[in-house]
Structure 1
Amino acid sequence: MSKMSFRKAYYIIICLVFFGCQEEVYVEKIYEKPEIVKEAVSDFLSPEESMKTFYLPEGYEVELVASEPMIDEPVTIAWDGNGRMYVAEMNTYMQDVNGSGTNNAISRIKLLEDTDGDGKMDKSTVFIDSLMLPRMILPLENELIVNETYSYDLWSYKDTNNDGVADKKERVYYNENRRGGNLEHQQSGLVWNLDNWVYTTYNPIRFKFTGGKVVVDSLDNMPSGQWGLTQDDMGIMYYSSAGSENPAYGFQQPAVYGNFNPEGRLSKDFVQPWPIVGTPDVQGGLKKLREDGTLNHFTGVAGQEIFRGHRLPPSTYGDLFIPEPVGRLIRRAKVKIEDGKKVLYNAYDEAEFMASTDLNFRPIQAKTGPDGALYIVDMYRGIIQESNWTKEGSFLRPVIVRKGLDKNIGKGRIYRIVYKGITPDEKPNLLDKKSSELVSYLAHPNGWYRNTAQKLIILRNDKSVVSELKKLASDNSAVNGNLFKEDRDLGLERVHALWTLDGLGMSDKEFIKARFNDKDERVRLTAIRLSENFIKAGDTTMYADLEQFIDDPSIEVVNQLALSLRYGKDNTSTTLLNRIKEKYGSHEIISHSTIESLKKDDYKLAALKKHIADRSIRDKERILRGYESYKQLCVTCHGENLKGVLLEDGSLVAPTLIGSPRVTGDRVTLSKILINGLIGPVDGKDYGIMMPLKDNSDGYIADVLSYIRALNNKNAVGNGQVRDARKQSEGREDYWTLKELEE
């Protein structure tokens, strides 16, 4: 980076530049970029020493919340309503370069408490022991929902005697299938969304915890995602994928309406990170490095968070923070709406919000805390890539051995980022409050409080607050008696009141229709979404009132109308959609929503069924199973159209599967590629490593290959051919190369 270009980012006027605010403008002074150390040492540093390697904009400070030996290999955190922190640990993750013992069920979930209120955890108990790499946690009212690696199941754990250790375990969701593949390509999240559904990455289903039961709903074409899931104030979720080196996608619309990623959602050069230390251990090899040895493209993106706290400068609210553990940095992205399209911009010019020169700094999750600060989970270790990428013949293995990264295990840190002059809040006590008291917290300036209060009211199913919620949703302009008089966002409070009523099953038609005239576009948009309950039930009386939104001054409201009308079974919904199409035919976002809504079903699945109509029943079943599996895993790199995910520079993450001689050729050889993976050039280009899928069943591999071959108009793959491939590959641990397979 030239000094000239860096000076352009020396001061950044966040509010004015991005939003044209008339309010107080925060001017941030970015750190002086240090001299890049191309070959940094990999020695372990104490938390205090490591914190000295952090670079942040002026005014921001890092405080240590917890570290080893209190925690070990932390991967995700969550707070209960009283601010106690659950920490999931993957204690067997990459304990050597071969990943030995990864699948031993000895991982834990810790329960941490800050007993003296100084912001640092001082009490720790092992809440759950002997787990298989726990990856998702969701605190409810008096229980913790947990998912482990290689499983779809959800388990409820309760501590009935208040000693900090779970003593009651119950499975609340069961799926007989085992989740195959390596641990990096599995679900994460378990996010309680504004719409009261709980979402994860990868799996096209969502959950609702209501009446002591778990309701499961299937979704079509929802975003996939990898490690990390977050939501903004309106419940729009942001996904990322390390596999396709995609730092952010799926955030144009609620996930329930499908995956939509228009071009230009990432500003020019957004995918270029700006580390301050050389990055020798990047899976993609030298092509992923600049001349100074730093990472030139996002690769390990994980654990992103829309910051919705109130104890940092107001300009940070609503920003997307994206950890990049391979680059040892955290990106801060501004979310700007341009004619209805959300576009992400780096908040700084050729610099990052947070960067470190410590090679063991591995930020894998950012979280908005109950205290209003920004929390960072640092796995603090040498190897951050799973063993499929570190085998003999990989680019990473000799780098790991040379730098001694395989020796750096068994530690972990949790930090919080604060700002000079702004004191974080004290810990909450929402679990001890009545539902009537929780209603006031729907106006809290911290999104964590608003979502947690809404969640607790719904879990209690307390109908005694319905009258108060309806008053809030109708007219909450009065502030008498409210706890948050000065900081209330009245429109957002009404949005939460509406969704809380819906979660209690108390959204009636006339009440929702009355909200159509709200002056706040977010409330109108929410009312349109809630009208779907009646549209789906075949109620045609809503259309006369919905029609007005075709001319709404808000592009977001018009777009929501197009999205919601897809559930209408009456011809009137089609008529309204065609009117929207006629008026907004050239509008990128609305036209897409209108076209998709006019299809009103999974058109891709319908097209596939038509394509394989002449096949045998057995082959049809196999291909359709393969279609579902492909959407959950392969789509990350090979794309929905099987032609490879396109990067911003025009290159592909993975080779096309359409017309590929490997796909259309010998089925046993093709099966070998999935079993052991592939390394080396493909058709003259090096795509890195294709991971092995040997842990999956023969049927799973045959199904996926049958789907891929069906789109190439080739016959299906059978279990026997996969078994033959396994037998011929018996004892082999390395990836295949095309040269070997051809020989």
Structure 2
Amino acid sequence: MKKTIWLSSVLAASLLAVTCQVARQNAPNSVQTATSQSEQTVPAFTENPSPAHLTPEQSLKSFRLPKGYHLELVASEPMIHEPVAVAWDGNARMYVVEMNTYMQDVDGSHEHDPTSRVMLLEDTNNDGKMDKSSVFIDKLLLPRMLLCVGHELLVNETDTYDIYSYKDTNGDGVADQKKPVFNPGKKAPGNLEHQRSGLDWNLDNWIYVTVDPVRFRYTGGVLKADTIPSGSGGQWGLTHDNYGRLYFSSAGGEVPALGFQINPIYGRMEFSDQYSQEFNAVWPIIKTPDVQGGVQRIRPADTTLNHFTASCGQVVFRGDRLPTDLSGDLLISEPVGRLIRRAKVGNVAGKTTLENAYQKEEFIASTDMNFRVVNMYTGPDGCLYLVDMHRGIIQEGNWTRPDSYLRPQITRLGLDKNIQHGRIYRLVHDGLKPGPKPQMLDETSAKLVSYLDHANGWWRDNAQKELIVRNDQTVVPTLKTIATGQKPASDLGRIHALWTLEGLNALDKTIVLKALTDEDAQVRKTAVRLSEPYLKQNDATLLARLGDLKTDPSFDVRTQLVLSLSYSPDSKARTLAQEIITLAPGNEMVARAQRSLDKNEDVKKFGRRLGSLDEIDRKLVLNGSTIYKSLCTTCHGPDGKGLESKAAPPLVDSKRVRNRNKDIAIRILLHGLSGPIDGQTYPDVMPAMGANDDEWLASVLSYIRYEFGSNQGVGVRPADVKAVREQTAGRSKAWTLDELIKPDQK
């Protein structure tokens, strides 16, 4: 779980009025860094924070926020406990996921007992605070994902891929109907922090999740799965912006944001400069000794977390009841640091970039050691919502074992005693009143169409989703007038109209062709994506019209052209894609788009693991496989585990194979290996293979490292072998381990 930041400068009077226009997200090519104006009621740094549990009222006094911003309590214990995710239905009723068995002690005892639940909360007097609750679903195993579709709630639990729909048919606030909507019949065991999250109904009508290489389409009351060849990535948390760009994060990899350059269906694309190394640094306002990574993860001077280690729960804020300069910013939680990062999102020649909104400061930070935000959302009222699990331990039991760095920190501070609490906060701002409560489930489809142009992204998304769930074809004529510009609407209104038509299977080529000429670049980009079904059908007219955009002023459009043209079987489409690349010399996005597609095709052809390798390394691995199976299996066994006769040591889990230093394995293959190995004596020495050429040796080693090693630094190239061969040219006898490896590396 991990990352983000933000803030505004002096607020002009114009910010105090709620505008009817939707704020545009990706217009600037540069990022304006906000100026810090934090409230002074909380010190800039607290050296010795108390680990004691605070009441909700006490916690509200622990936050350091930008001037004008305030957190309000929406719900807390005893109404909720251990909340990790929320979802609103079309009438703004809030469903809250509780993981009631998560780390109830330092050992994680009884974690997989089915005693967690989903709560249903309501605000009956419209004051922003939940005052009515019921247990909507009980006796669940650590529920982790949920999505409202019409009057139903889709839920996934830990350790399973199954997703069920729950419905309350008698209005008592308790689900009394359950049916499977996705039931592959497979278990998904593993550390619960490394399992999927999401169920994010994106602008393109696909429902995305993290971790698993799959996305879903909600059709006829069930979820239809579609494979994402190169995988979706990410860990805990998933969000999208106004134009359907997805943002993932990976706490385990200490990566605060990834996957946001292109949709994962086209492959993977990351840039080393999409945000700076400085962006990884975080700035808590209290000491943070309870860090899983140990002392290398904390600053010696003040014992604060020095970079993201638990980024999670990210959200692109898309509401209309906070200052407009916040709209489109990416917020990332870092629960280990008790802080929220605000990132300004920029667009540089089509490349999306992130920058901390402040200098060595965070958007929201707390002195409450139990402040553990794990999810954030844009709410129906246009404000920002924080889901605070509010607990002492935020790391799963695999990282709190008796020999871990964390365990003594947890027990010393008594953090293991702080359990069964939970807070949901709403971020508000002076002078900006939260918006009204929606009643979408009770309104006509014609009324829902009007919300596709709403200033709050939550309303636009949910109106589109509800229209598609209803499959009401009576609104199609109106949607077409919006999509084609006959009826005035903002660019976002036209985009939502286009995707709603797509979701209703009511889109036609005439509308797509019209949208390709729209004055707004994001509408044109949308039209390019919507042309893909026609490209699959080898539609020559549409392919020709796409060619008119090859010098489009927007690199977003040109990049999407390259990606979408891959759906056409016509060789002219590939020629056009190459022409687009040629006409954009030096543009990284356009050039990398084709490379991402090529890699995606490799994954489809060779599988995800082998397909992820560069073509040179893949060729070496495949050639090496042939050599190994014809020669090496006689001693090392076909599975690399050795033979019962113990003719040679096993290769599986061998430190020589897994060692990141390729030279050790190269030396062994060139000159052989003798003597005891891992305490075992073998009848013969490993013979020298140096008589074979460099490519032969590189192929064998690449395969062995790929198949039996860690898959890190797999590629052994012929040049690597040549260099070691020259260094050891005078060698005439086999190596021993003592010569090759330090004692602690054997």
**Which residue in 1 is equivalent to 2:267?**
258
**Contact 1:12 1:28 survives alignment (8 Å):** no
C-alpha distance in 1, partners of 2:707/2:158? 21
> Counterparts of 1:2-21 in structure 2 under 5 Å?
none
Please say which of residues 11-20 and 193-202 is displaced more in the overlay. 11-20
Q: Indicate yes or no: 2:66 matched with 1:57.
A: yes
CA-CA distance at 1:350 after TM superposition: 1.1
Cα distance change, pair 133–519 in 1 and its aligned pair in 2 (3 A)? same
**Contact 2:36 2:358 survives alignment (8 Å):** no
For the residue of structure 1 that corresponds to 2:108, the secondary structure is coil
**Which residue in 2 is equivalent to 1:531?**
531
CA-CA distance at 1:30 after TM superposition: 2.9
Cα distance change, pair 578–105 in 1 and its aligned pair in 2 (3 A)? same
Q: Indicate yes or no: 2:618 matched with 1:591.
A: no
**Which residue in 1 is equivalent to 2:514?**
514
CA-CA distance at 1:600 after TM superposition: 6.6
The structure 1 residue matched to 2:365, chosen from 355, 360, 364, is 355
The structure 1 residue matched to 2:88, chosen from 79, 100, 104, is 79
Q: Indicate yes or no: 2:576 matched with 1:576.
A: yes
C-alpha distance in 2, partners of 1:556/1:19? 11
**Which residue in 1 is equivalent to 2:384?**
374
**Which residue in 2 is equivalent to 1:440?**
450
AA aligned opposite 2:162: D
C-alpha distance in 2, partners of 1:658/1:559? 38
AA aligned opposite 2:579: R
**TM-score, normalised with respect to structure 1:** 0.80
**Which residue in 1 is equivalent to 2:37?**
29
CA-CA distance at 1:37 after TM superposition: 2.3
| CA RMSD, 1 decimal | 3.4
CA-CA distance at 1:506 after TM superposition: 1.1
> Alignment length, in residue pairs?
632
Q: Percent identity?
A: 49
C-alpha distance in 2, partners of 1:386/1:217? 31
Q: Which has the higher contact order (CA 8 A, sep 6+)?
A: 2
**Contact 1:75 1:87 survives alignment (8 Å):** yes
**Contact 1:438 1:457 survives alignment (8 Å):** yes
Cα distance change, pair 469–35 in 1 and its aligned pair in 2 (3 A)? closer
Q: Indicate yes or no: 2:303 matched with 1:293.
A: yes
AA aligned opposite 1:503: G
**Contact 1:114 1:120 survives alignment (8 Å):** yes
AA aligned opposite 2:90: G
| Structure of greater Rg | 2
The structure 1 residue matched to 2:471, chosen from 461, 465, 485, is 461
The structure 1 residue matched to 2:144, chosen from 135, 138, 142, is 135
Q: Indicate yes or no: 2:281 matched with 1:272.
A: yes
For the residue of structure 2 that corresponds to 1:544, the secondary structure is helix
Cα distance change, pair 253–599 in 1 and its aligned pair in 2 (3 A)? closer
Q: CA offsets per residue over residues 400-422 of structure 1, 9 Å max, x none? A: 01000011101000000000111
CA-CA distance at 1:510 after TM superposition: 2.3
Q: CA offsets per residue over residues 96-123 of structure 1, 9 Å max, x none? A: 0000010101000000000111000001
C-alpha distance in 1, partners of 2:306/2:664? 32
CA-CA distance at 1:711 after TM superposition: 5.0
**Contact 2:28 2:347 survives alignment (8 Å):** no
The structure 2 residue matched to 1:399, chosen from 401, 409, 426, is 409
CA-CA distance at 1:704 after TM superposition: 8.6
**Contact 2:26 2:347 survives alignment (8 Å):** no
**Which residue in 2 is equivalent to 1:181?**
190
Q: Indicate yes or no: 2:322 matched with 1:344.
A: no
**Which residue in 1 is equivalent to 2:643?**
none
Q: Indicate yes or no: 2:219 matched with 1:198.
A: no
Q: Indicate yes or no: 2:77 matched with 1:68.
A: yes
Cα distance change, pair 600–71 in 1 and its aligned pair in 2 (3 A)? closer
CA-CA distance at 1:222 after TM superposition: 3.4
Q: Which runs of 5+ in 2 are unaligned?
A: 1-6, 16-22, 612-617, 630-657, 670-705, 717-740
**Contact 2:516 2:524 survives alignment (8 Å):** yes
The structure 2 residue matched to 1:94, chosen from 95, 103, 106, is 103
Please say which of residues 508-517 and 440-449 is displaced more in the overlay. 508-517
CA-CA distance at 1:434 after TM superposition: 1.1
**Which residue in 2 is equivalent to 1:4?**
none
C-alpha distance in 2, partners of 1:221/1:53? 43
For the residue of structure 2 that corresponds to 1:181, the secondary structure is coil
Q: CA offsets per residue over residues 189-212 of structure 1, 9 Å max, x none? A: 000000000000011111001222
C-alpha distance in 2, partners of 1:267/1:109? 39
> Counterparts of 1:469-484 in structure 2 under 5 Å?
469-475=479-485, 478=488
C-alpha distance in 1, partners of 2:623/2:510? 46
The structure 2 residue matched to 1:121, chosen from 130, 134, 142, is 130
Cα distance change, pair 428–271 in 1 and its aligned pair in 2 (3 A)? same
Cα distance change, pair 575–709 in 1 and its aligned pair in 2 (3 A)? closer
AA aligned opposite 1:467: P
Q: Which runs of 5+ in 1 are unaligned?
A: 1-7, 479-487, 620-654, 666-702, 714-737
Cα distance change, pair 656–571 in 1 and its aligned pair in 2 (3 A)? farther
**TM-score, normalised with respect to structure 2:** 0.79
C-alpha distance in 2, partners of 1:742/1:267? 34
The structure 1 residue matched to 2:420, chosen from 395, 399, 410, is 410
**Contact 2:266 2:596 survives alignment (8 Å):** no
C-alpha distance in 1, partners of 2:585/2:553? 17
CA-CA distance at 1:31 after TM superposition: 3.4
Q: Indicate yes or no: 2:343 matched with 1:364.
A: no
C-alpha distance in 1, partners of 2:512/2:622? 44
C-alpha distance in 2, partners of 1:17/1:178? 40
